[in-house]
Homo-oligomer: A and B are copies of this chain.
């Protein structure tokens, strides 16, 4: 459903809400951003905005880190997956 997608992907939450929903600290959330694991939008004045999808991704990241996975491994995995998707899309054309 298109509406469902809009709700899930729209970047609308501020940091506070995200810490409440994920249980992570601001520090952790900002650090994962510097490591290119998460990509919030910014308002014109510079405050971050997250989506429900980001929340889910953050909880996934947190779980992996607890299991001892390094942020760069998580990032490499993310890039590999993206590459795969791009290759498949290229083949389709």
Contacts and interface: CB of A to CB of B under 8 A. Distances in A.
Contacts of A16: 43, 47
B17 A52 contact: no
Report copies per complex: 2
Interface range on chain A: under 10, 10 to 19, 20 to 34, or 35 or more? 10 to 19
Contacts of A74: none
A84 to B, nearest CB: 26
A2 B82 CA distance: 29
Nearest to A21: B12
A13 to B, nearest CB: 5
Interface of A: 1, 3-4, 7-8, 10, 12-14, 16-17, 20-21, 43, 47, 49, 52
